[in-house]
């Protein structure tokens, strides 16, 4: 089987384990997040090179606001530095940047950076990189329902139309969800969108989840038979 065969169109990643990675090494949690940010860059580049059309990274959940204020502040500063540093790279690589979640809860300078990057990459034609910030799947669904009620379109609602009211409107549903660090759950990530996604769990902590680990997840996906309540979508040789 060639690596280019049956490539997932949309991959979602729950990047878990930064804090534990640092603690295991006697380092501050901040160092785990810094290394994790560099690992995210590596996986973004690998995804673009593979021809994956959409990559969604679970960067900061709605529940993460409950962490100590000092850690939240550090994460926001790291996010600001990362966005400023990587803009030129995103433009050069033709990547479209998109954010999902309750962005209004983020610091105003972060919101402004996000709007700027989204505007400057909107005309790009490469991979779409979606970053989930202050995001929760249940909250997203509730917000979508409120939009539908406000629009008066509830009586004409279908699954397809409902998807148009989600933060991910216009993006294909994820084919593959990857979670690192040994946890085996979605943790409120893309709950509606992941109804038929293949799930891949690994014990590897996110800062150690390198290109080789990512390729292993992709190959695992390619060997699976995808079923949607009927005949397998495809059968791959192992």
Domain range list for the chain: 10-222
Are 100 and 56 in contact, with CB atoms under 8 Å apart?
yes
In the predicted structure, residue 212 carries a pLDDT above the cut 70: yes
Mean pLDDT, the chain, whole residue set = 92
In the predicted structure, residue 236 carries a pLDDT above the cut 70: no
Edge to edge, the sheet with strand 54-61 lists: 96-100, 128-135, 54-61, 10-14, 176-179, 198-201
pLDDT at residue number 25: 97
Positive or negative, the CA dihedral 193, 195, 199, 201 is: positive
User: Per the confidence metrics, is the pTM higher than 0.85?
Assistant: yes
In the predicted structure, residue 19 carries a pLDDT above the cut 90: yes
Residue 123 has phi, psi (to 5 degrees) of -90, 0
Condensed to tens digits (0 to 9), the pLDDT of residues 60-102 reads 999 999 999 999 999 999 999 999 988 888 988 999 999 999 9
pLDDT at residue number 203: 98
Condensed to tens digits (0 to 9), the pLDDT of residues 91-102 reads 889 999 999 999
Q: pLDDT grade, residue 235 (50/70/90)?
A: very low
Residues facing residue 55 across a β-bridge: 11, 129
Residues annotated as catalytic (active site), given as ranges? 16, 64
Q: pLDDT grade, residue 238 (50/70/90)?
A: very low
Q: pLDDT grade, residue 233 (50/70/90)?
A: low
What kind of fold does domain 10-222 have according to CATH? Undecaprenyl pyrophosphate synthetase (3.40.1180)
The pair of three-digit structure tokens given for residue 160, joined into one six-digit string: 């397809």
* DSSP per-residue letters across the chain: --TTTT--SEEEEE---HHHHHHHTT--HHHHHHHHHHHHHHHHHHHHHHT-SEEEEEEEEGGGGGS-HHHHHHHHHHHHHHHHHHHHHHHHHTPEEEEES-GGGS-HHHHHHHHHHHHHHTT--S-EEEEEEEE-HHHHHHHHHHHHHHHT-GGG--HHHHHTTSTTTTSPPPSEEEE-TT--S-TTSSTTTTTT-EEEE-SS-GGG--HHHHHHHHHHHHTSPP-SSSS-S-----
Q: What's the distance, CA 205 to chain centroid?
A: 16
Condensed to tens digits (0 to 9), the pLDDT of residues 169-198 reads 999 999 999 999 999 999 999 999 999 999
């Amino acid at each position: 089987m060639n690596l280019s065969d049956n490539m997932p169109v949309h991959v979602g990643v729950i990047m878990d384990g930064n804090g534990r990675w640092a603690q295991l090494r006697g380092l501050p949690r901040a160092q785990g997040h810094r290394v994790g940010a560099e690992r995210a860059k590596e996986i973004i580049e690998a995804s673009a090179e593979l021809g994956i059309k959409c990559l969604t990274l679970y960067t900061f959940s709605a529940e993460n606001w409950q962490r100590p204020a000092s850690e939240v502040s550090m994460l926001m500063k790291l996010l600001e530095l990362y966005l400023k540093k990587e803009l030129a790279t995103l433009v050069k690589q033709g990547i479209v940047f998109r954010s999902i979640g309750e962005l209004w809860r983020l610091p105003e300078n972060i919101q402004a950076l996000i709007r700027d990057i989204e505007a400057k990459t909107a005309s790009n034609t490469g991979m779409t990189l979606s970053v989930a910030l202050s995001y929760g799947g249940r909250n997203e669904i509730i917000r979508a329902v409120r939009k539908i009620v406000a629009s008066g379109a509830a009586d004409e609602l279908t699954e397809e139309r409902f998807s148009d009211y989600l933060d991910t409107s216009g993006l294909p549903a994820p084919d593959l969800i990857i979670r690192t660090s040994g946890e085996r759950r979605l943790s409120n990530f893309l709950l509606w969108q992941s109804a038929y996604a293949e799930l891949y769990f690994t014990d590897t902590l996110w800062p150690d989840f390198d290109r080789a680990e990512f390729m292993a997840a992709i190959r695992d996906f390619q060997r699976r038979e995808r079923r949607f309540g009927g005949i397998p979508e495809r059968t791959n040789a192992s």
